[in-house]
Chain A
Amino acid sequence: MDSAAKSKSKNVHSSFRYDLMASLGHDYVQAAGPDDAVAGVQPKVIVAPANEQQLVEVLRRSNQAGVAVIPRGGGTKLGWGNPASRAQLVLSTVRMNEITEHAWADLTVSVDAGCTIQKLQETLAQHGQRLALDPLWPGKATVGGVLSTNDSGALRLRFGALRDLIIGVTLALPDGTLASSGGKVVKNVAGYDLPKLATGAFGTLGVITRAVFRLHPLPRSARSFSVTTTSSEETRRFIHAVQNSKLAHTALQARFESGAAPVVDILFEGTEAGLSAQHAHIKVLAETAPVAEASPEVWNARQDLWSFSKPESAAVAKISFLPAEIDRFMELISKSAKVRQLRWKAVAQATGIGWLRLQGDAMNMRDSLQDLREQFERSTGSLFVAYHPSGMASINTWGNTGDALPLMKSIKRQLDPKNTLNPGRFVGGI
């Protein structure tokens, strides 16, 4: 861009900002500070609309003015994805946080995108219900952010991921369209399933303003057990035995760490009678491995991977693999870490989704992540780099997207033709 164009663009932005202040009020249009940087890219302004109509208007005007928009909920996962190719306006949903309808007798809830998961769960718990999902940082993470990043935890084994829990969505598109799809009932096949399209789209197609979820009852009782195994192969065998049994477990994960024995955690929920019977059964399946009653804290293991003291020498990746190959992949990780002189820690779910933390030299971590990605992709899996130090030479966040990338780009062009939303952050440069 030449200097004349640059100065023109700056003028557009200041008048644009003035317009926004006039309609939203000064308090809700603020200059962005260093803390608002998005994966190293500094936005100019933070806008927090009070409601859906305002959000649509801000988005529409930004799109018209060629201003790149970064939607933001609690900001807990804002660093995930590629750095934005442009980032001028952060569109915050912080003020749109109402739980509009908890139809508890119908086991559904309608909620605004800016509501935190914790506030949602607390409200649902008053009627003995929950959104059967255990995402990262529920105290800060919002419905919109969790949906956009498709974050799920250990409960996924039993209840599915967000795609299985969301039944309706309202999306604000850059051209000012506000579109709803799905509905308020669990069973519904009218029209395209756009709730699934919005889930995991990293805010690149539209801004989620509201969602409707199906709910599950809180369990009558719950018990967790941990089984310490001697090797990753034994871990696999035990997980397979549990999965292949008639047990009705809610969650099943394995924790691995350089230099330590792998531990398998299992969660049962239900009636006391059911829990006792299953506890007895698990002891049989574990054979000689010790089975210990565990604290519910073990289910925080995934989040605990994110607690590290030296951000410049840690990396975190989400991995996806075929569940029956868990031992092979853990061995690969272990070998790669050893060769590259890295410490590692992983939490792997029986669903085949896991999280890996590496610690050590940035370049070595990069090499290790790239080697491992190749191995995962070769067996239909994937490796997504969620966090890496700013000092690490650039690394492809997403990896290979396969032959559907042109189709994905075509969907992006249909819904966001001016590339206003989160430009460059998603797969294949979307």
Chain B
Amino acid sequence: MDARILDELRAIVDGRGLIASPEELHTYECDGLTNFRVMPRAVLLPTSAEQVQAIVRVCHREKIPFVARGSGTGLSGGALPVENGIVISLARMNRILEVDFPNARAIVEPGVINLDVTARILHNEFFYAPDPSSQSICTIGGNVAENSGGAHCLKYGFTTTHVLGLEVVLPDGTLVHLGGKALDTPGYDLAGVFVGSEGTLGIATKITLRIVKRPECVRTLLAAFLSTNEAGAAVSGIIAAGMLPAAIEMMDNLAIQAAEAAVHANYPNCGGLLLVELDGPLAEVECLMTDVNEICRSNGASEIRLAQSDAERALVWKGRKAAFAAMGRISPNYIVQDGVIPRTALPKVMSEIVRLSSEAGLRVANVFHAGDGNLHPLVLYDRRIPGQEEAAEALSSNILELCIAAGGSITGEHGVGEDKKKMMSKMFAQPDLLTMQRVRNAFDPLQLSNPTKIFPTPRLCGEKPGEYTPHPSESAGLAERF
């Protein structure tokens, strides 16, 4: 990128919104998936949709790839910069533009922090439902890109459920409006296609959200089981009884130990811990909580506790939400995985994970969104021990293959990004991937918007599904794969 273009970009963002010095660029060389690092040529911090458009137009003219970035908390490398490309950070576009309580809508810029939306509307007893564990720092723009979930999406749905309209800068700099404040805008549901497209279809500059009235009451129950199998049976019992809890979370013993060490959540020490949250009208919740209690007991729960206060409830959740970071307490390094299985496959997949884990000689801690079958196995290892890192990566990939074999998915909420694109041809057949690419071509024919993510490289795409061939540079030990 020559100095002329850099000057042109600098002028767009009033001089102050451009970062080009190597020491400052280091901050942007990776996101939450820190194993991959690429230095961008520059980082732009626009403050308006017009500035985003102007930047993207320059990129389009000069064929410079760009990657949009929110807070960089993503766990799949979605915001990883592209070689010779620029990063467009939306951090300075962080205004909540409109809150419309009568219509239960909020219009925000992409850099708004997830939890700040709820903070802004809580006084009127509303909340913004999608609650990824990183909600205190992640942005709505990033949530839109990844279609972020969270513990409560079992009942309330994902980001895509709550995004009604988008203002988007397309990869040629055109500004378009997808969906809108009212429902069922005539035409294709392009807002539905855009959410979860991981920054490959353009950059959202304005987002119309649905906001939700807070339920009359919330009750959280902890139940301790001998193992995750009994806990899993209780989950099936709850679902079979026709209930739709706000959340059902499960942790195994290793995850409990880590969470205890980190935040002293006062969890019972057991083989499988279940956290069940019900919300709704008081009479309804109390009636159903009795049933949940009974189902847990009949599935062998050794201890059942109902959080007695908001503070106790908050502590229960703190332990769960800190579970990933807590692994640092019990292991020097770990890989976070994000597979999904049909819930009924849980006992089988769990016993396979145990088998693979003991074969590899590595510990695996398990944290699940059990209600919807979203597994977060955490593969623990020590990078200083030769061969462990490779073994951990192999184990992590094998677990994902278990998920695919069980009829599930390689990612429930973290996205494909850079991390899992090699797994895409194991989950989808080539015609499936080529059809998605055709949709991408309609938005971004020059492939400038986050171009290297989601899809396997053309060479891998042409391979038969089910086989993985290492990249030559990987075989030669020049590159790593995670």
Contacts and interface: CB of A to CB of B under 8 A. Distances in A.
A binds B: yes
Interface of A: 103, 105-108, 128, 150, 160-161, 163-164, 171, 173, 177-181, 183-194, 196-197, 199-201, 205, 216-220, 240, 243-248, 270-271, 273-274, 276-278, 281, 318, 320-324, 351-353, 379-382, 384, 398-408, 410-411, 413-415, 426-428
Contact of B196 (A192, A217, A405): A192
A133 B147 CA distance: 23
Given A194-B436, A248-B281, A414-B438, A271 B373 contact: no
Contact of A405 (B184, B187, B195, B236): B187
B183 interface: yes
Contacts of A426: 187
A197 B439 contact: yes
Given A191-B424, A243-B213, A273-B283, A404 B187 contact: yes
Interface string B157-192: 110110000000010001111101111111111101
Given A384-B186, A404-B176, A217 B343 contact: no
B432 A180 contact: yes
Q: Which 4 A-B residue pairings sit nearest by Cβ, starting from the closest?
A: A196-B192, A274-B284, A217-B242, A324-B102
B413 to A, nearest CB: 6
B442 interface: yes
B149 A407 contact: no
Interface string B417-441: 0001000100111011111101111
Nearest to B409: A188
B473 interface: no
Interface residues of B, number: 90
B158 A187 contact: yes
A245 B427 CA distance: 44
B195 A193 contact: yes
A193 B284 contact: no
B138 to A, nearest CB: 15
Contacts of B415: 189
A89 to B, nearest CB: 23
Given A187-B374, A197-B193, A248-B284, 9 more contacts: A179-B432, A180-B428, A181-B428, A186-B373, A187-B372, A188-B412, A248-B216, A382-B182, A411-B190
Contact of A404 (B178, B286, B407): B178
A295 B146 CA distance: 43
A243 B211 CA distance: 12
Contact of B442 (A179, A190, A384, A410): A410
Contacts of B214: 246
A353 B215 contact: no
Contact of B188 (A128, A185, A201, A281): A201
Contacts of A105: 236, 239-240, 343-344
Interface in B21-41: none
A271 B244 contact: no
Given A186-B372, A190-B410, A324-B103, A413 B280 contact: no
A290 to B, nearest CB: 23
A216 B197 CA distance: 27
A225 B177 CA distance: 39
Given A189-B147, A189-B196, A322 B161 contact: no
Contacts of A219: 242
Given A185-B341, A185-B408, A189-B146, A278 B439 contact: no
Nearest to A185: B340
Nearest to A129: B242
A201 B340 CA distance: 28
A274 B291 CA distance: 14
Given A193-B147, A199-B192, A381 B182 contact: yes
Residue of A321, A323, A407, A415 most packed against chain B (CB within 10 A): A407
Given A181-B432, A248-B215, A411-B442, A188 B188 contact: no
B309 to A, nearest CB: 20
B163 to A, nearest CB: 11
Contacts of A318: 184
Residue of B175, B185, B286, B428 most packed against chain A (CB within 10 A): B185
Interface string B391-408: 000000000000000011
Contacts of A181: 428, 432, 435-436
A192 B281 contact: no
Given A246-B213, A278-B281, A320 B431 contact: no
Contact of A183 (B101, B192, B408): B408
A191 B427 CA distance: 10
Nearest to B455: A191
A150 B183 CA distance: 12
A107 B243 CA distance: 11
B416 interface: yes
B153 interface: yes
Given A180-B429, A194-B435, A407-B442, A273 B183 contact: no
A244 B428 CA distance: 43
B219 interface: no
Contacts of B440: 192
Nearest to B279: A248
A224 to B, nearest CB: 17
B288 interface: yes
A248 B278 CA distance: 13
A391 to B, nearest CB: 25
